[in-house]
Structure 1
Amino acid sequence: MVLLDIRNAALAYRGRAALDGVDLCVAGGQTVALLGPNGAGKTSLLRLAAGRLPPKRGSVRVFGRDPARDSATRRRIGFVPQEIALYPRLTVAENLDVFAQLAGLKRPARRSAVAAVLDQTAIEQVADRPVGALSGGYQRRVNLAASLVTRPDLILLDEPTQGVDLAARAAIHKVLEILRKQGAAIVVSTHDFSESERLADRVAFLSAGRLVREGSLADLLRPLAAASPEYEVLLDTPPEPEAEAALRLAGFCTAELSDATSWRAARAAAEGVDGAALLSDLRDAGVPVAEIRIRRPGLEALYRNIIPTGGALP
């Protein structure tokens, strides 16, 4: 069953285009990852799907209704913003009670809803602690819990694991996997390619407000199965000029999606290179190598092929 159906949607802020002719359908039990550079329109698409904004053109339907006009439909949507949208001086349980009240739940229903979502997200142990005293990982988990107090069928998440440690990331992933198995439709905007590969059934690539490629994860990755492996060098610190020259001489360039501590080799340059020998040669040249990764190309390689440089909105 299609829970979210977006057709030819366009959106503009103060006369500037944010989305232009986007089509996206998500069924129950599916997770769709939105990938694209900052400013490509991912957050705008989530706000459109949540009914926070009406489209300038086209249509948005959740369970066949317009969420921007129908409050009952909006209550069936859980929206998790990138920002921590919580009250820092209130406890976790008090925050969840406030969000349940804002959603229209009466006191007895709120009590049971808060207890259920504390258990669902495995945060009972911090229920009585002020949110402002929690680690960033726990705040992200409470942020997710706040969106689930009404047991939504459609969950929209904007960078849900940004800046969290591995334990919090795994905990959030576990909740999302359970929700998908229970039949929820999930749309997650992320810059994390490994997160997308782990969670998503389908992937949608956004560039400059347009959906430029969309499909099942398996279909998108199938053409890469026979491709040459990728070589990536991870550095302890950004390289000095001499070390940078050694990296470039070995066929490496800075990874477009990372900082100066991640360098990737063109496939032709890396073909047949022995990883241990490369590590030794680079260290002998003064390159502060922490790790060399040799891996089969995945979503990140596909992203580099699909998204043009400057794929953000002007």
Structure 2
Amino acid sequence: MAEPLVRLAGAVLAYRERRVVDRVDLALRAGETLALLGPNGAGKTSLMRLIAGRLAPGAGAVRVGGQDPFRVRAARRAIGWVPQEIALYPRLTVAENLGVFAQLAGIGRRRRAQAVAEAMAVTDIAAMEARPVGLLSGGYQRRVNIAASLMGCPALVLLDEPTQGVDLVARAAIHAVLGRLRAGGTAILVATHDFAEAERLADRVAFMAQGRIVREGALADLLAQLRAGAPEHEVALSLPPGPPAEAALRRAGFAPSQTPLVWRAASRAGQGLDGAALLGALRAQGVPASEVRVRAPGLEALYLDALHDDAVVLRPAEALRLTGGAIR
């Protein structure tokens, strides 16, 4: 098997004596997509900055293509960095923006137009080339942001929340871009708070909390291990629960999702009861439950299981957000 394009060994990064990246080991191969998930403050962006060569580790090693990206310019040129913020010039057109980034990437004048055209083709934004970036929708701006990172034909692309704040159509377009990059052999590391996005894009996932990777592996393998256990339960309510009903739901191991009429439980909740029995037990306690859905656990359950097994303590507000289908 080929040597990984990216390898971290015991990487440490500290701010004011607090470790925000704590002895991380990680590997990523060409043509592979790795999704990095974790609550706010877990260290995801700091880890990506280490890999991008923006920061130097205080201990351990970071290598991209066998070289230190902080010290070796050639290693940094092999990396495309797509920050969470839109890092473009709003008054310049799409083509003008990409021309600037091509120049910054060291692409000569003769090759610049071709490089811009190729990046626009991969990201499917050629129709917008004469439009000022500031007049584009958020989804198109994010695709231009990705195109700007491709000027040097990087072997590795790092994306921090690439679909934040965009609609479903724009999200699908961005996912298609990442699919084309992966098919072309580009390694992709994407930090996301969205479980559905990670399930759609990733070959492998790494869960991060308190600066550490608490679990990592092939997504299909990790889900298969989890699904060998108890299923997940979800309760649909006919109306918002009052305090007694809410207390009964919480005692049963449920927490509210993104909508107050759907409550979800970890895979351990409801063990020993089928859906009908659980529905009856909740109704007997005054819960306005219309149905109980039983399903195989997904990535959300895998994440919570990883944090539970590693005894990672979340703030109450963060734990509540985690049960809503996406970590915010």
Is the structural similarity TM-score above 0.5? yes
Q: Who is 2:66 aligned against?
A: 64
- Encode CA deviations 1:83-123: one digit per residue, 9 max, x unaligned: 11111111111111111111111222111111111111111
Q: How many Å apart are 1:10 and its aligned residue?
A: 0.4
Give me the identity figure in percent: 57
Gaps of 5+ in 1: none
Secondary structure in 2 aligned to 1:269? Answer: coil
State how far apart, in whole Å, the 1-side matches of 2:303 and 2:126 are. 39
Aligned residue in 2 for 1:304: 304
Considering Cα pairs closer than 8 Å and 6+ residues apart, tell me whether 1 or 2 has the greater RCO: 1
2:321 paired residue number: none
Give the aligned partner of residue 87 of structure 1. Answer: 89
Q: Which moved more, 1:184-193 or 1:303-312?
A: 303-312
Relative to structure 1, the CA distance from residue 204 to residue 246 in structure 2 (aligned partners, 3 Å threshold; closer, same or farther) is: closer
In the alignment, the residues of structure 2 paired with residue 123 and residue 13 of structure 1 have an alpha-carbon distance, to the nearest angstrom, of 39
Paired with 2:36 and 2:5, the residues of 1 have a C-alpha distance of 17
Aligned to 2:263: 263
Q: What's the TM-score once normalised by structure 2's chain length?
A: 0.82
Label 1:134 to 1:109 Cα distance change in 2 as closer, same or farther (>3 A).
same
Give the direction of change, closer, same or farther, for the CA distance of 1:98–1:305 in structure 2 (3 Å limit).
same
| Matched pairs, number | 304
Does the C-alpha gap of structure 1 residues 261 and 9 become closer, same or farther in structure 2, counting only changes over 3 Å?
farther
Q: 1:181 aligns with which of 175, 180, 183?
A: 183
Amino acid at match of 2:298: G
Query: Counterpart of 1:163?
Result: 165
RMSD of aligned alpha carbons: 3.0
Shift of 1:234: 6.8
1:206 correspondence with 2:178:
no
**Per-residue deviation, 1:13:** 2.1
Partner of 2:324: none
Mapping for residues 109-148 of structure 1, pairs under 5 Å:
109-148=111-150
Task: Measure, in 2, the Cα distance between the counterparts of 1:236 and 1:100.
Answer: 56
Partner of 2:53: 51
State the TM-score, normalized to the length of structure 1: 0.86
Runs of 5+ consecutive residues of structure 2 not aligned to the other structure: 319-328
Distance 1:149 1:235 in 2: 50
Aligned AA for 2:242?
A: P
Shift in CA distance, 122/205, structure 1 to aligned 2, threshold 3 Å: same
Question: What SS class does the counterpart of residue 143 from structure 1 fall into?
Answer: helix
Counterpart CA distance in 2 for 1:235 and 1:145 is 44
Match of 1:254 in 2: 255
C-alpha distance in 2 between matches for 1:53 and 1:247: 48
Does structure 2 conserve the Cα–Cα contact (< 8 Å) formed by 1:243 and 1:286? no
Find the aligned partners of 2:23 and 2:103 in 1 and give their Cα distance: 36
Equivalent-residue separation in structure 1 for 2:106 and 2:219 (angstroms): 38
